[in-house]
Amino acid sequence: MSAAAVQACRDEIAAQIRAYRDLVGAASKASGMSLTRIDAALAAFEPAFFNNLLVALAARFGGRPDDRGPLAEARTLAASLMHNRGVLAADPAIPYDADDSLLRIDVGERIALNADDFETLCAAFLAAVEDSPAGRG
């Protein structure tokens, strides 16, 4: 994956995160709706948005059987979001250890990413893509 492709992905994701944060800011200032309803709506929207953004990120760059670290973590989370109803499942083909992971989500736990979780994993994932032999080519 070229450095330009990784940078384009970073730019696109940064724009989506800015849009999310702008939405949160606008909703917080909205009149005519109770703060309780706004908070509840945002609490429901945030994990759905960032879980789906992780699936899109993982799909964009694919994976290899020898992936480790943030690459394996993102692939494991994305696979569980798509195929295990959002509950983290072990995949014998993908090495994953919650204690060594960035987000420390255990097998059997529901995946509900927030903006900070996604930004942390995304930054590490894209850095690992750039550092991989395929990313340098």
- pLDDT tens for 29-75 read 775 666 777 788 888 999 999 999 999 999 998 777 778 899 999 99
Q: Which residues are CB-contacts of 111 (< 8 A; sequence separation ≥ 6)?
A: 47, 51, 77, 80, 81, 86, 87, 88, 105
Average pLDDT over every residue of 86-107: 93
Q: Is there a contact between 5 and 60 (Cβ–Cβ < 8 Å)?
A: no
**φ, ψ at 109 (rounded to 5°):** -85, 150
What pTM was computed for the model? 0.86
